[in-house]
Chains A and B, each alone.
Chain A
Amino acid sequence: GAVVSQHPSWVICKSGTSVKIECRSLDFQATTMFWYRQFPKQSLMLMATSNEGSKATYEQGVEKDKFLINHASLTLSTLTVTSAHPEDSSFYICSASGRGLRNEQFFGPGTRLTVL
């Protein structure tokens, strides 16, 4: 099946700093990528949807200036958490879908962010 990777797998940062998370589709062209956030013992919540070469569409309540998404190529999307605070500590998961993949989404392994 199609493979999606994320980097880093975990990161610890100080409050006020920015953190970039990468999501890559390794063996297919991802026309659409999705970013989710998951707090402990809760379900995944969709943050935003991005299509290659265009601006991301954010879900209600997600600050687009705080969570910057760039989908510059068909294999890479990045999520930057700007001026991170402890309440941004969470598990961030990306997924990707592409042409010829029967509308399936393939998920990355996730990135655990801890803000001190």
Chain B
Amino acid sequence: DAKTTQPTSMDCAEGRAANLPCNHSTISGNEYVYWYRQIHSQGPQYIIHGLKNNETNEMASLIITEDRKSSTLILPHATLRDTAVYYCIVINFGNEKLTFGTGTRLTIIP
């Protein structure tokens, strides 16, 4: 599976949009981009995933560049409860093994 690169940490003001970038320049054509987050001392929570089209659900939006070498997770109106470590993972559909990198520690500032 392709390796991902994320900033170690980010801050965002409460109520603003949080934009979390992820680089996956070695992604192959059949690999999906998944985002999970982990709130302190809890199990990871699925957020969203996509292949090449932008995706939106009730939690977030995922913007994937046309060349698929990078993506951005957008939390449109961040709240304090969005403080967590966010993991961007690239995986083949059908290969269920998730490889977690170091993720981005997002802190929402009141």
User: B3 CB to closest chain A CB, in angstroms?
Assistant: 13
Contact of B46 among A32, A43, A106 (CB under 8 A): A106
Offer 8 A-B interface pairs, CB within 8 angstroms, sorted by A: A1-B46, A34-B97, A43-B87, A95-B98, A103-B93, A105-B98, A106-B46, A107-B44
Which residues does A use to contact B, with CB under 8 Å?
A: 1, 4, 6, 32, 34, 36, 43-46, 49, 91, 93, 95, 97, 103-110, 112
The total of Cβ contacts below 8 Å across the A-B interface reads 50
Contact A46 B46 (CB under 8 A): no
Write out the residue numbers on chain B whose beta carbons fall within 8 Å of the beta carbon of A109: 42-43
Contact B101 A110 (CB under 8 A): no
Contact A46 B44 (CB under 8 A): no
User: A112 CB to closest chain B CB, in angstroms?
Assistant: 7
Given A43-B102, A105-B46, A106-B46, A112-B96 contact (CB < 8 Å): no
Given A32-B96, A49-B96, A97-B96, A107-B101 contact (CB < 8 Å): no
